[in-house]
Amino acid sequence: MTTYRVAVSSYALDRKIPPGDPFWQTFNGSFANRELEPFDLAAMIYDGHPFTTWHANHWRTSANYQAGQHLGLDFDAGDATSTIPALLKSPFIAKHSSILYTTPSHTADEPRARAVFLLDTPIMQATNYALAASALLWLFSGADRQCKDPARFFYGSKGCELEFVDHVLPIATVKHLIRQYQATGQRERQRHERTFTATTDQAEVADALRKIPAWGIDYDEWVAVLMALHREYGAAGLSLAESWADGAPGEVERKWKSFRPDGNVAGAVGLGSVFALAKRFGWERVTQ
């Protein structure tokens, strides 16, 4: 029987660990790298064991990442779309998922479920794992966007509803999905840049920034906003960036200085990306 590289916590939990709980430090060091058959992983999930990617020294951080052979999607809408039967209607999930189960926060009135995909080949670099997870999230826009951290763990769910699908997601399919994701992102950036050109002034940019919560977006999005301001305004945009970014003392300036002066970096973003992000938080452009 084929085995898969998954790290599993020695703790079988019947609830989520609350923020600030002193148990967190012990918990983060409780993951053991295992090579598991799919049914054994499903049994551990059912017993309440959290799981994550392989890490050195059993310590769950991105810097310690060694390998990942699973991807996960959380569906937390709390309605019929987050039930196991509804998820199995997706051709991609039905064909490629390994395990579906209801999460610890699931109730009959507010259903929540997770889809776990076991990969036929482990991903050995943390950046590639995050890219693969991002591409899967792009395909399923209704899933929880936080599920792309290479050090992210998933709770098991003691006594959950569990569907053992027992399929595998080929790494070739993941690579194809990444290419689609990257191509779509590039087209979107280009479209936004065409939309917001010379008619944009700094007051409009500041108005859009007020809608974007600096602490409510992913770090890569935070950096992308700084990069866009740097590319558009150069040194003159630093004060605007600092007033929005709300980083630790000196953090914004250090990041700012790491950008190339000409702004011509691979994957560089412009103001269109800032406006697209602001629109996600309800910003609307005022037309004259």
Can you list the residues of the chain whose pLDDT is less than 50? Answer: 192, 197-199, 263-267, 288
Residue boundaries of the structural domains of the chain? 4-179, 196-280
Alpha-carbon distance of 195 to 8, in angstroms, equals 47
Q: Provide the β-strand partners of residue 100.
A: 115, 163
What is the DSSP annotation of 51-66?
A: EE-EEGGG---GGGEE
Element spanning 182, H or E: helix 171-195
Global confidence as pTM: 0.68
| Distance in angstroms (rounded) separating the CA atoms of residues 262 and 225 | 16
Cα distance from N-terminal residue to C-terminal residue, the chain? 66
Q: Which amino acid makes up residue 156?
A: G
What count of other Cβ atoms lies within 10 Å of the Cβ of residue 251?
12
| Residue 46 vs residues 7, 51, 160: alpha-carbon distances, Å | 16, 12, 6
Cα–Cα distances in Å, from 15 out to 62, 85, 103, 223, 288?
24, 24, 10, 34, 53
Phi-psi category of residue 67: left, alpha or beta, with phi > 0 → left and psi -120 to 50 → alpha: beta
Identity at 205, one-letter amino acid code: V
What pLDDT does residue 185 have?
A: 64
Query: Quick one: pLDDT at residue 288?
Result: 46
Q: Which of 99, 104, 106, 97 is nearest to 48 (CA)?
A: 104
- What is the per-residue burial (b if ≥16 Cβ within 10 Å, else e) of 71-93? bbbbbbbeeeebbbebbbeeebb
